[in-house]
């Protein structure tokens, strides 16, 4: 049944074999044996093209029930394992979230007895049932098929740079001044999904027409912050990722009075039928009280950062005065 389900989902014996850790020939033999036992064909086999293996109509109608049955079977086996001396907890998170948030804190979870952890770091949205995933942390809007999503934390977006860069070039009186610097762009999440970009931050800061596409583009959030730490430019940081680096003085937050909350957030995700598994409950509860500390300005640079912030405040007060002048007769505010 697993060979049939995986082949139908992937439309390929080879891809199913990769998932099941067997050979394509073995998968094909299992499917043919099932067809002979049932007396019906389960697939239409093409000679080439993208979909060389397509489930027949009768197979398509049966697949939802078969998948539900396999999921319940996996859950039943997991419950039988609960009585074992130790239980394996499989967690999936992104590589950047693992490096910048989870791993620096995971030692606190090791105090929980009889739970061994397997950490799967991947940007792919893994299938929890077929991949044996218990729980994960995902970044998004909170909606994923067949998963419960409990909000873990919101996220603020703000620019950061290294202390060395701030001391050397930190004559930034207003957010618009950052547009002339080397900007580091995070490409790890599709911008169409609501991921904050430099364009969005400049717009939120009231900066019109800023050219923000120049600079360095990186597809890993942890590497984005490392590039900023190394003095390669100014990064648009995500608070959960940057909190420890700011607290340690490796990064400095610019214009801290300017708040910009992302439309995306971090969620703890798991299958509803697994919600009461003891090891899952223990990790979920631990995640919920392990919150990142609010970032603070490193003391040696406090005066410099505050000076930049005060200039930023004066800039916004000046903008506010301009906006008030051009309010129309109905009290509606227009940008000058």
pLDDT per position as a tens digit, 315-334: 333 332 232 223 333 333 23
C-beta separation of 172 from 291 below 8 A = no
In 3D, which of 305, 308, 288, 289 has the Cα closest to residue 297? 305
Q: How far apart are CA 11 and CA 7, in angstroms?
A: 5
- Give the pLDDT mean for 268-286: 90
Task: Report the pLDDT value the prediction gives residue 209, as an integer from 0 to 100.
Answer: 75
* Tokens at 108, concatenated: 């606190």
Bridge partner list, 261: 156
pLDDT, tens only, 101-116: 999 999 888 877 778 8
Task: Report the pLDDT value the prediction gives residue 122, as an integer from 0 to 100.
Answer: 84
**235 pLDDT higher than 90:** yes
- Give the pLDDT mean for 10-32: 89
Task: Report the pLDDT value the prediction gives residue 324, as an integer from 0 to 100.
Answer: 26
C-beta separation of 157 from 237 below 8 A = yes
Task: Report the pLDDT value the prediction gives residue 312, as an integer from 0 to 100.
Answer: 44
How many angstroms separate the Cα of 16 from the Cα of each of 13, 28, 210, 311?
5, 10, 49, 60
* Tokens at 332, concatenated: 């509606």
**10 pLDDT higher than 50:** yes
All structural domains of the chain, each given as residue ranges with its CATH number in brackets, are 2-81 (1.10.10.10), 87-152+265-289 (3.40.190.10), 157-263+297-320 (3.40.190.10)
**309 pLDDT higher than 50:** no
Residue 331 burial by CB count (10 A; 0-12/13-18/19+): exposed, middle or buried?
exposed
What percentage of the chain reaches a pLDDT higher than 70?
80
C-beta separation of 195 from 264 below 8 A = yes
Of residues 48 and 182, the one with the higher pLDDT is 182
Of residues 314 and 143, the one with the higher pLDDT is 143
**138 pLDDT higher than 50:** yes
**205 pLDDT higher than 60:** yes
Across the chain, mean pLDDT equals 80
C-beta separation of 279 from 331 below 8 A = no
Task: Report the pLDDT value the prediction gives residue 68, as an integer from 0 to 100.
Answer: 83
Q: How far apart are CA 67 and CA 6, in angstroms?
A: 10
């Amino acid at each position: 049944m697993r060979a049939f389900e995986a082949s139908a989902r992937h439309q390929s014996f080879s891809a199913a074999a990769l998932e099941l850790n067997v050979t394509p020939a073995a998968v094909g033999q299992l499917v043919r044996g099932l067809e002979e036992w049932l007396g019906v064909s389960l697939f239409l086999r093409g000679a080439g093209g993208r979909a060389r293996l397509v489930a027949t109509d009768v197979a398509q109608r049966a697949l939802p029930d078969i998948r539900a049955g396999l999921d319940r079977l996996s859950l039943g086996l997991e419950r039988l394992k609960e009585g074992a001396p130790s239980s394996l907890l499989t967690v999936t998170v992104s590589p950047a979230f693992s490096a910048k948030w989870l791993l620096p804190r995971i030692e606190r979870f090791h105090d929980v007895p009889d739970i061994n952890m397997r950490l799967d770091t991947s940007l792919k949205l893994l299938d929890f049932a077929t991949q044996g995933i218990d729980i994960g942390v995902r970044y998004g809007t909170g909606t994923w098929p067949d998963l419960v999503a409990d909000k873990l934390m919101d996220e603020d977006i703000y620019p950061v740079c290294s202390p060395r860069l701030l001391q050397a070039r930190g004559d930034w009186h207003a957010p618009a001044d950052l547009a002339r610097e080397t900007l580091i762009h995070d490409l790890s999440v599709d911008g169409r999904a609501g991921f904050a970009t430099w364009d969005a931050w400049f717009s939120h800061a009231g900066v019109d027409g800023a050219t923000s596409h120049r600079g360095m583009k990186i597809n890993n959030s942890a590497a984005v912050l490392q590039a900023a730490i190394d003095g390669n430019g100014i990064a648009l940081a995500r608070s959960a990722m940057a909190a420890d680096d700011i607290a340690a003085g490796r990064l400095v937050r610019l214009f801290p009075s300017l708040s910009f909350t992302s439309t995306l957030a971090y969620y703890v995700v798991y299958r509803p039928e697994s919600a009461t598994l003891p090891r899952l409950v223990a990790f979920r509860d631990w995640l919920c009280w392990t919150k990142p500390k609010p970032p603070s300005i490193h003391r040696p640079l406090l005066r410099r950062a505050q000076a930049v912030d005060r200039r930023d405040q004066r800039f916004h007060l000046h903008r506010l005065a301009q906006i008030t002048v051009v309010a129309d007769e109905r009290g509606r505010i227009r940008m000058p």
